[in-house]
A and B are shown apart, each in its own frame.
Chain A
């Protein structure tokens, strides 16, 4: 089976400035890939380039064998669900209507869901613990609840690949772990690639980590093997290490 996502020497330039340089990566079903690196390392641009949301300056990307920019928006949405770093709900629609937008590519009308569409939305609401909030308006709920609503929207899309840009930003530890569990349970149906600044959470959750700096990958592999003190120093410019306490992986920086 071909990879859900395959990047080959992919580079992305924004206004002439290289933000992703020569990245190659394959993501197969069952994997969880964490993108790590300091602010501006190119994690978001890597995801956007991989999804065809921004043009590549060199190399190629493929989603299940097809270049993303050659797929129609609908065909792409059936292969990958994307959660942007700062998801928006410009109009204060209800949580349920927002999640229902995840069924857009299937032709579902958010206010008249039936059958599979309805079941997918119910399942996503339940997975993100949002069922009691389903009728609340998006401007009436907390930041953490908003983040979960947008994650539920991505889950409802039922795409094999989930591409999540900082899905745990702004969440409390319990909610961040809940997101980690949601990602793990998705591996039964496909793969996840997510970016984060939480090195410990990435190490606990991911099957593989990709550590970036200035657009390039400086280390890739199993969390314990790639997140060495030397690599963390190279990426973040600070002494850091991954330690295990009571079976939990946590990161410490000095």
Chain B
């Protein structure tokens, strides 16, 4: 068995343990999550299971998008959060909520994620180093943040405002199986598009021109990955709000174990993202805080320093080279 396959297997087991632990552990102590009384059934299957499933799917979608975008842009700092895809997806959903058409939130999230992905790829395609691309992402994220703030600023009533703020912090609290199905469906769609482009990502290891010279259709690869990452990120953000850093952390963890081939990173990164977010959500549920820590906040608290570490390591490596 290859190291990537062993890693995937380990992470699937870890994900399973995290999900089962999520069913068992929580504010209401349960003797046995599969006990046959009505109360336990409601808590486990109507509340905890949809939440745990949503957390895993959102993490997987972000991990997969991160790995695919890093391969496409040949940049280890790419990730849907850093590049502004998540911010734009959030903006799309916020606008839908603010205009009173909550049903259109997923459409808004996906549409805006797609627009941001197209913009990043158009602006960052020929950028040479990691820095310029991240700067483009920072610009787009700030723009999305500003526009979200503007929307909140002009929010029609305080109730709507509180909902919107809560939502932008990122959480899977109280999510239903419908939410899981929406994010899951888009994850499957995005994964299909991205996996079709996997060989193209391998070719791009040589750079754009040499990839074309060995026979890769670079335009097709770019289109598929952008659409796939937008579907994954749009779906994840539509149900869970903004959750950063899973997309950047997951591929890096996988690379440490199973090498740098961008095609072989994809599925293990998705499973890693799922496992990471399942564990993070379990942690925020078990932390003895008065009001529950938001998952997006926890991800940023852990992910921010991890991102800085990776960036510092890359910087020192490029100085040596």
Indicate if the CB atoms of A93 and B259 lie closer than 8 Å: yes
Bound Cα distance from A109 to B4, whole angstroms: 15
Could you say which of A89, A102, A111, A157 contacts B264, with CB atoms under 8 Å apart? Answer: A111
Expressed in whole angstroms, the minimum distance between the Cβ of A162 and any Cβ of chain B is: 12
- Is B228 part of the binding interface, using a Cβ–Cβ cutoff of 8 Å? no
- Is B199 part of the binding interface, using a Cβ–Cβ cutoff of 8 Å? yes
Nearest A residue to B264, CB-CB: A111
Bound Cα distance from A90 to B297, whole angstroms: 33
Expressed in whole angstroms, the minimum distance between the Cβ of B129 and any Cβ of chain A is: 11
> Quick one: which of A140-161 are within 8 Å of B by CB?
153, 157
| Known A87-B206, A101-B206; contact A111-B213, beta-carbon cutoff 8 A | no
Indicate if the CB atoms of A84 and B210 lie closer than 8 Å: yes
Expressed in whole angstroms, the minimum distance between the Cβ of B8 and any Cβ of chain A is: 14
Q: How many A residues, CB 8 Å from partner?
A: 34
Could you say which of A73, A92, A109, A111 has the most chain B C-beta atoms within 10 Å of its C-beta? A73
Nearest B residue to A109, CB-CB: B199
Could you say which of B74, B203, B209, B214 contacts A157, with CB atoms under 8 Å apart? Answer: B214
Indicate if the CB atoms of A102 and B209 lie closer than 8 Å: no
Contacts of A87 in B (CB 8 A): 206-207, 210
B185-228 interface mask toward A, CB cutoff 8 Å, 1 = contact, 0 = none? 00000000000000100111111011011111110000000000
- Is A110 part of the binding interface, using a Cβ–Cβ cutoff of 8 Å? yes
Could you say which of A48, A84, A111 contacts B261, with CB atoms under 8 Å apart? Answer: A111
Nearest B residue to A107, CB-CB: B199
> Quick one: which of A61-79 are within 8 Å of B by CB?
72-74, 76-78
Contacts of A137 in B (CB 8 A): 260
Expressed in whole angstroms, the minimum distance between the Cβ of B11 and any Cβ of chain A is: 19
Contacts of A97 in B (CB 8 A): 261
Indicate if the CB atoms of A77 and B206 lie closer than 8 Å: no
- Is B303 part of the binding interface, using a Cβ–Cβ cutoff of 8 Å? no
Expressed in whole angstroms, the minimum distance between the Cβ of A173 and any Cβ of chain B is: 26
- Is B241 part of the binding interface, using a Cβ–Cβ cutoff of 8 Å? no
Indicate if the CB atoms of A88 and B206 lie closer than 8 Å: yes
Indicate if the CB atoms of B206 and A89 lie closer than 8 Å: yes
Bound Cα distance from A76 to B79, whole angstroms: 33
Bound Cα distance from A91 to B205, whole angstroms: 6
Expressed in whole angstroms, the minimum distance between the Cβ of A204 and any Cβ of chain B is: 27
Contacts of A102 in B (CB 8 A): 214
Contacts of A236 in B (CB 8 A): none
- Is B296 part of the binding interface, using a Cβ–Cβ cutoff of 8 Å? no
Contacts of A73 in B (CB 8 A): 212-213, 215-218
Indicate if the CB atoms of B210 and A77 lie closer than 8 Å: no
Contacts of A78 in B (CB 8 A): 215
Contacts of A217 in B (CB 8 A): none
Indicate if the CB atoms of B205 and A90 lie closer than 8 Å: yes
26 A-B contacts, Cβ less than 8 Å apart? A51-B213, A53-B213, A73-B217, A76-B215, A77-B213, A77-B214, A78-B215, A80-B213, A82-B210, A84-B210, A88-B206, A88-B207, A89-B205, A91-B74, A91-B205, A93-B260, A101-B214, A102-B214, A104-B199, A104-B202, A104-B203, A105-B214, A109-B199, A137-B260, A153-B206, A157-B214
Given contacts A87-B207, A104-B199, 19 further A-B contacts (CB under 8 A): A53-B209, A53-B212, A53-B213, A73-B212, A74-B215, A77-B213, A81-B213, A82-B210, A88-B205, A88-B206, A88-B210, A89-B206, A90-B204, A98-B205, A101-B202, A101-B214, A102-B214, A105-B214, A153-B206
